[in-house]
A and B are shown apart, each in its own frame.
Chain A
Amino acid sequence: MIDAYKGISPKGDLVLLRKFGKVFGNRVFLHVNSTREGGGVAEILQRMTPILKGLEINARWEVIKGDVEFFSITKKIHNALQGNEEHFTKQMWTHHFEVNRMNAEKLDLEADAVLIHDPQPAPLINFRKKGTWIWRCHIDVSNPRLDVWNSLKEYCSRYDTAVFSVARFARSMRIDEFIIPPSIDPVSEKNRELSPEEISETAKKFNIPFDRPILLQVSRFDRFKDPIGVIKAYHMVKKYNDCILILAGSPATDDPEGEAVVAEVREYAADDPDVFILLLPAFSDKDINALQRMATVVLQKSLKEGFGLTVSEAMWKEKPVLGGAVGGIPLQIMHGVTGFLVHSPEGAAFRVRQLLNNPDMAKRMGERGKEYVRNNFLITRQVRDYLSIWYAAEHKGSSVLKL
């Protein structure tokens, strides 16, 4: 499996992964989350588990089960950790714990390293048998409802280590806290190389012409992704440069406002034949890949964002990217080097015009962007980081470790 990344991931990462394979060979690395399919965590675990197995590490992935009430509570926890007002009772926390207790009886939690993903299975720490236990938080908990965070912290602070995606997402606890950004998989359907025929096939499917520059934003239809702002920017660009705009994504099914946002976007686009609003069904990875590859400039003009991995996806395809300076986007876009950070539709329009009129600059940015992603945001780096944390936890006391 690891050979699939040869010539793609940095050689140093592959060398270290193989060394870790020798260090941790046959030892058990258990991941636990709350869903086998759907969502970014399941997606990364589907890709990561075979890589770990390919290193001869005994990787296992368990999924906790719960009733409707449990998942309604964990959804509320999720929302409250992101700052939304939610009402909690003592019984709800008891149910959260009880479901985890029942899971602990059924799951094999015996492992040398256990990585627990997100708040749903966090109470499993109370049933620890042995090994290094790591709590991985994929959520932005920088401004949580404090009562909810304090209840959850009772569990989280019992782990050996916590991991957050971005430094500012982290909460201060009395345990080691590491920062590990998420990653993209360069050999997945969404990011693998495509042939010109495959790209044309997608263009044909959506009737997208190739005769003008293409501006693209891939994201769900959510006000925080600012699709209206993107259309405003496109209108400003269009006065100077003929181009087309593609807004591609799926309506947010867990967001009651999703449909309203799509309607607003359609209305604002006002039947402009050069604006393509594509509502993509789930598992449209190959089409998204093709759209990103046919684009001239990619935007991610978010007003609020988690990490915003679509930025790295586009950079991996050597596209200059304009992004809102929010969430994890500034970690991916080095302003003026791999793309531009923008703060308004006017700013986005100006930068798009700059890029459309300076193809050499756009090309240079795209090339640098790909190298930046190669060195920082590929899945091999993420696996490397998890194994490094496991290694560090077993060799505490020094900030420099020699393998």
Chain B
Amino acid sequence: MSGIFEFKQCVTIIKATGKKSRNLREFRDALAIVSEGSIFHHTYQYLLKGHILEYTNDFSHWAGESLEEGALAEQLSNIDPYDFSDIETLRKELLQVVDDYLVGFPEPRDAMPGDEFFFNETITLVFQAGVRVRNLGEFLMAIKYVDVSALYYHFFDARRRFEGKSNDFSQWFDEEMGKKDLAEKLRFIDPFMHSLEGIRGRIAAAVEEALRQDMESSEAVT
């Protein structure tokens, strides 16, 4: 139980793929061939933007805001990328949703010039934030002040490493701190319904509550 948690954070640099789509048919064709890195960027990394409107990825955002195809935007928003074991399976699901929509609406409108969908990728740089913690108290202090990109890296990006079922914080609470309940509580925070700051607040509240319970139980013993 002496494991140290070392916070890491990341920055992403956007790289253009040169592919763009004016309407849903062009989008569908591009989606079928763009790199896995591009799909990763437009879905998983959407949450790095830090603002949650009614969309959960760039594709649904474009469908809703630029094409004004509300129903399609809702369907695309409902896709949880962490449900898929790899990007190719996620790509198939995205294509299926677009194909089904095109059956009902076979003549999609064009986006305004300049408002086309531009497929991008990213280069991600990961580095140590210079913050190390040894217990829940130190963790609580740190989580309140670390950069939001550390939250993204440990809470969102980590989900890919645990097949959508966990995150770095829960793993540490569970395996190093012996806090299974706390670990589980964090696993059940809906990643798509909060901004990164919202996630920070929820994690801090859960840890604070765990600390309070620890203190109460130790007082009861003494």
Contact = CB atoms under 8 A, between A and B. Distances in A.
Given A388-B123, A399-B121, A399-B123, A178 B129 contact: no
A385 B124 CA distance: 11
A401 B126 contact: yes
Given A164-B16, A403-B126, A337 B118 contact: no
Given A12-B147, A15-B130, A399-B123, A168 B118 contact: yes
Contacts of A392: 13, 123, 125
Nearest to A12: B147
Given A168-B116, A168-B118, A400 B126 contact: yes
A372 B37 CA distance: 25
Contacts of B122: 399
B50 interface: yes
Nearest to A381: B11
B109 interface: no
B212 interface: no
Contacts of B118: 167-168, 170
Interface string A385-402: 100110110000001111
B193 interface: no
Contacts of B126: 400-403
A177 B16 CA distance: 5
Contacts of A353: none
Contacts of B149: 12
A176 interface: yes
A389 B53 contact: no
Interface residues of B, number: 29
B114 A172 contact: no
B51 interface: yes
A179 B120 contact: yes
Given A15-B129, A176-B15, A389-B13, A10 B147 contact: yes
Most buried by A among B16, B121, B147, B149: B16
Contacts of A142: 114
A399 B124 contact: yes
A402 B127 contact: yes
Contacts of A10: 147
Given A179-B16, A403-B125, A16 B120 contact: no
Contacts of A384: 11
B18 A172 contact: yes
A401 B16 contact: no
A401 B125 contact: yes
B97 interface: no
A192 interface: no
A375 B120 CA distance: 20
B-side binding surface: helix, strand, loop or mixed?
strand
Contact of B15 (A12, A179, A400, A401): A179
B20 interface: yes
A388 B11 contact: yes
A334 interface: yes
B118 to A, nearest CB: 4
Contacts of B147: 10-12, 15
Contacts of A336: 53
A231 B15 CA distance: 40
A326 interface: yes
A75 interface: no
B127 A403 contact: yes
B150 interface: yes
A238 interface: no
B14 interface: yes
B127 A178 contact: no
B171 interface: no
B9 interface: yes
Given A399-B121, A399-B122, A401-B125, A178 B15 contact: yes
Contacts of A389: 13
A334 B51 CA distance: 9
A27 interface: no
B15 A177 contact: yes
Nearest to A174: B18
Contacts of B123: 388, 392, 399-401
A326 B53 contact: no
B114 A167 contact: no
A187 B88 CA distance: 46
Contacts of B148: 375
Contact of A178 (B14, B114, B150): B14
A19 interface: yes
B18 A400 contact: no
Contacts of A372: 51
Interface string B102-134: 000000000000101010111111110110000
A166 to B, nearest CB: 9
Most buried by A among B50, B121, B122, B125: B125
B43 to A, nearest CB: 15
Most buried by A among B53, B121, B124: B124
A391 B15 contact: no
Contacts of A13: 11
A13 B50 CA distance: 16
Contacts of A180: 13-14
3 A-B pairs with least C-beta separation: A12-B147, A172-B18, A167-B118
22 contacts: A10-B147, A12-B11, A12-B147, A15-B129, A15-B147, A164-B16, A167-B118, A168-B114, A170-B16, A170-B18, A176-B15, A179-B16, A179-B120, A334-B51, A337-B51, A375-B50, A392-B13, A392-B123, A392-B125, A399-B121, A402-B126, A403-B125
Interface of B: 9, 11, 13-16, 18, 20, 37, 50-51, 53, 114, 116, 118, 120-127, 129-130, 147-150
